[in-house]
Amino acid sequence: MSFRLNARAGEWALITGASSGLGAEFARALARRGYSLLLHGRNAERLEQLVIDLNKVRKLDCRVVIADLAREEGIDAVCQAARQQAGLRLLVNNAGYGNPGLFQDVSVDSLLEMQRVHNEAVVRITHAAMAQLMQAEGAAVLNVSSVAAWLPGRGSVMYYATKAFLNAFSRSLAADLSGTGVVVQALCPGFTHTGFHDPDKAAYLDKSKLPNWLWMEAAPVVEFSLRSLGNGRVIVIPGVVNRIFAWVGGHDWLYRKLVGNARRK
């Protein structure tokens, strides 16, 4: 099923986690394509600045929802906004974060909080948005997952596990929505130049210790995602390197062999 990417008058996109990174890049890309935007985030100052920047390029209708998806009231706020937004045509479930730590050393509350943000919030917001999406002339649900979904991740158990859930959820949701006019995608990027790994974030990485060929810029990742909507594939992986990682990770014997050889060097 093809997907008409450019918006018509009165069509909206809801983006969670829009204050930075891929979420902000999705906002810029969809604003260029004529969408009005319903933007969610926790950082009011960043969202307000994003709206100002977007309006410098094109005047657009824009609503902001400040909410913490790790809290019941935060999920409820975004769900209510989704239900009430007439003309909603595209939902981008992007909100997420990293919080490294060995499973046995991290509190169970912290583990379940990530599950709530990455999984429970996605399910509930998608369900809340469904009535509006199904009224649109062709709509889409886009879940930002990760190539980590195929890999066992020591020190980030819940991150890897919740991304695997997003892939399975997206595939099954696509099956349920077959024939309704709503397409589904799970976008699975790898290392991407966003704020995700910045020094002030829990998922900080020293980028100087990783080769440049591992990384992609945010804009090409978002463009690849949007161009792939409705192409018949639910799981989309930008970049040849990331597709190789997913293929290797999908073959447990090969993954164990490669990792074992690397550790012996």
Look up the CATH number of the domain holding residue 254. 3.40.50.720
Q: Specify the pLDDT at position 186.
A: 98
Q: Reply yes or no on whether 255 is catalytic.
A: no
180-206 mean pLDDT: 74
Does residue 17 lie within any of the structural domains? yes
160-185 mean pLDDT: 97
175-179 mean pLDDT: 97
51-79 mean pLDDT: 95
> How many structural domains are present in the chain?
1
Percent of the chain exceeding pLDDT 70 equals 89
Q: Is residue 172 predicted with pLDDT exceeding 50?
A: yes
Q: Which two tokens stand for residue 114?
A: 């990530």
Lowest-confidence segment of 98-102, 119-123, 152-156, 256-260 by average pLDDT: 256-260
Does residue 196 lie within any of the structural domains? yes
Does residue 5 lie within any of the structural domains? no
Q: Specify the pLDDT at position 58.
A: 86
CB 121 within 8 A of CB 78: yes
Q: Is residue 130 predicted with pLDDT exceeding 80?
A: yes
Q: Is residue 259 predicted with pLDDT exceeding 70?
A: no
Q: Give the residue carrying structure tokens 């003309």.
A: 87
Does residue 2 lie within any of the structural domains? no
Does residue 4 lie within any of the structural domains? no
124-148 mean pLDDT: 97
Per-residue pLDDT tens digits for 199-241: 554 454 566 667 776 778 999 999 999 999 999 999 999 989 8
Q: Specify the pLDDT at position 261.
A: 42
> 165-174 — which CB contacts under 8 Å span 24+ positions?
165/118, 165/119, 166/118, 166/119, 166/122, 167/235, 169/119, 169/122, 169/123, 169/143, 170/141, 170/143, 170/145, 170/234, 170/235, 171/234, 171/235, 173/126, 173/141, 174/234
What pTM was computed for the model?
0.89
Q: Which two tokens stand for residue 21?
A: 């990174």
SS3 content of the chain, % helix, strand, coil (to 5): 50, 15, 35
- Catalytic member of 159, 160, 204, 255: 159
Does residue 6 lie within any of the structural domains? no
Does residue 141 lie within any of the structural domains? yes
Q: Specify the pLDDT at position 99.
A: 87
> 133: domain range?
12-264
Q: Specify the pLDDT at position 1.
A: 65
